[in-house]
Copies of this chain bind each other. A is one copy, B any other.
């Protein structure tokens, strides 16, 4: 199943989108039994949010970060709700 279908399945609960949202998911799958390499995900996450804030205004309270680990698979989810301000205001008129 493609990730888009997965997302659309999740979306049924929120019929209309009141706020613009950006979601960043990073998955890191290590080789079986590999333990040595340092975990760069926490620092990578900070850098990626910094890059995103070049494009959209991010308020701390609109940022949700979730980390999941399962064996050699690590998933980092960053959810950003974009505030309704002039910079993000969408040209409603016309």
Could you list which residues of chain A lie within 8 angstroms of chain B, going by C-beta atoms?
1-4, 6-11, 16-32, 34-37, 40, 43-44, 47-48, 51-52, 54-56, 68, 70, 72-73, 75, 77, 88, 90-92
Contact = CB atoms under 8 A, between A and B. Distances in A.
B70 A8 contact: yes
Q: Specify how many copies of this chain sit in the oligomer.
A: 2
18 contacts: A1-B6, A3-B25, A7-B73, A16-B32, A17-B31, A19-B31, A20-B29, A20-B31, A23-B25, A23-B27, A25-B26, A25-B27, A31-B90, A35-B91, A36-B90, A36-B92, A48-B51, A51-B51
A17 B34 CA distance: 10
Identify the 5 closest CB pairs spanning chains A and B, nearest first.
A36-B91, A34-B90, A4-B68, A25-B25, A23-B27
